[in-house]
A = this chain, B = another copy of it.
Amino acid sequence: MAYKDEKLHEEKVFKDPVHRYVHVRDRVIWDLVGTPEFQRLRRVKQLGTSYLTFHGAEHSRFNHSLGVYEIVRRIIDNFQNREHWNHEERLLCLTAALLHDLGHGPFSHSFEKVFKLDHEYFTRAIILGDTYVHAILQRVAPDFPQKVADVINKTYENKLVVSLISSQIDADRMDYLQRDAYFTGVSYGHFDMERILRVMRPMEDQVVVKESGMHAVEDYIMSRYQMYWQVYFHPVTRSAEVILTKVLHRAKQLYEEGYTFKCAPVHFETFFKGEPDLQAYLKLDEAITLYYFQMWQEEEDPILSDLCWRFVNRKLFKYVEFNPNTQMNEWMELYKLFQKAGMDPDYYLVVDSSSDLPYDFYRPGEEGERLPIHLLLPNKELQELSRKSEIVEAISGKKRTDHKLYFPKDLIERLSKRSKTKKRILEILYG
């Protein structure tokens, strides 16, 4: 039997807290799960620094990747024998679902920002490069790796396939909303996925949802909205991100300045140089990163060691609301006061805006990458969700930005009691 059609002797299952079981019957899927590149996702947390806010959020991208695979598997099961659905695309869909996050590195968001990386680039690199994953995909068919990469890259010709993984209501989001809600323990993030899967229908170039399922979709959109504001943009998580980012910045700066590290940043070198190759990228997971952060607590550079100490021991920055449009003067004054007090403001006075984050709870049309949600009306016409749903219309497209100013309150408090600088800093920050 061709490798692509090979079935396991007996179906394998993973016990999954969110979907109860993840079922695998295809040899190809089973083999992919076993590769070092996929197993590496166990060492990358799904929610980055969120575990410092929600202690339950210690789950990895390995978890999530299996979940996305399982949802696509269930969707496809329902598609069997329906018009527009080409059963030949099945394995491609499953594979792309499983591998869609393969290129994520440690604490992706911060790493990508500081080192100007792109996890999607590395996902492709792993799929197309000299890897265990590639070897398996190659065995399916010579053009299979490229196809998988195209689906994840959203350039695959059959847009229906793409939309399973990347649209406003794709398997990716349906998994992470539920999974992140489960592990953080928040009461948002629940919606009736079983219902949504039942009303999904394949169309020529996208998956659509029967109108009778509109309320379930509304519930999903609302979950997303709540998860963004309650979990993903949580200011304490962002405080940890700020520190993480500053650690990376500092280490890079020191490296460029020729600073002699006690613990040399071997794994980081190609990153600092702006040209990490695939092998270097694959080696740098969160365990390795934490190793350096723990070691660097003992570096001579006071900023690097302090920031690492903060991250490792969760001594985060505090924050206040900050409006960059009206408070630039205050910011300027603070900047100088921080300098005066010996706290380098480039590292210790940070404005962070939620709008920098991937804010997309629902914006039809605005966002190039993700297809909007279409309802399938009884008369077989399609209608974009926000035109039918009052609630979705009400919240969609509204860009809500939230700026905060982060700083080390403990250091400020340690300034001399009689210090005018201290007094003035506190005055500006807390009024």
Contacts and interface: CB of A to CB of B under 8 A. Distances in A.
Contacts of A43: 290
11 contacts: A15-B56, A16-B55, A16-B185, A17-B182, A36-B313, A56-B63, A58-B63, A188-B215, A190-B190, A287-B291, A390-B398
Contacts of A393: 394
Contacts of A198: 13, 21
A116 interface: no
A192 B192 CA distance: 17
Which of A16, A218, A313 gathers the greatest number of chain B CB atoms within 10 Å?
Answer: A313
A66 B59 CA distance: 18
A118 B218 CA distance: 35
Interface stretch (A163-171, A219-227, A322-330): A219-227
Nearest to A394: B394
A219 B188 CA distance: 8
A134 interface: no
Interface in A191-241: 191-192, 194-195, 198, 215-216, 218-219, 222, 225-226, 229-230
Contacts of A194: 20-21
Given A17-B183, A286-B287, A55 B51 contact: no
B186 A15 contact: yes
A425 interface: no
Interface in A284-312: 285-288, 290-291, 294, 312
A14 interface: yes
A55 B14 CA distance: 8
Interface of A: 13-18, 20-21, 34, 36, 39, 42-43, 51, 54-56, 58-60, 62-63, 66, 182-188, 190-192, 194-195, 198, 215-216, 218-219, 222, 225-226, 229-230, 283, 285-288, 290-291, 294, 312-315, 390-391, 393-395, 398, 400
Decide if the interface of chain A is mainly helix, strand, loop or mixed.
helix
Given A215-B229, A390-B398, 6 more contacts: A36-B313, A187-B190, A215-B226, A218-B226, A390-B394, A393-B394
A187 B182 contact: no
Task: Give the number of copies in the complex.
Answer: 4
Contacts of A34: 314-315
Given A17-B184, A20-B185, A390-B398, A56 B59 contact: yes
Contacts of A286: 287
A17 B313 contact: no
B58 A58 contact: yes
B195 A187 contact: yes
Contacts of A188: 192, 215, 219
Nearest to A56: B17
A345 to B, nearest CB: 26
A229 B212 CA distance: 12
Given A190-B187, A290-B287, A391 B390 contact: no
A221 to B, nearest CB: 10
Nearest to A182: B17
A385 to B, nearest CB: 15
A217 to B, nearest CB: 11
Nearest to A315: B34
Contacts of A294: 283, 285, 287-288
Contacts of A218: 226
A133 to B, nearest CB: 13
A226 B219 contact: yes
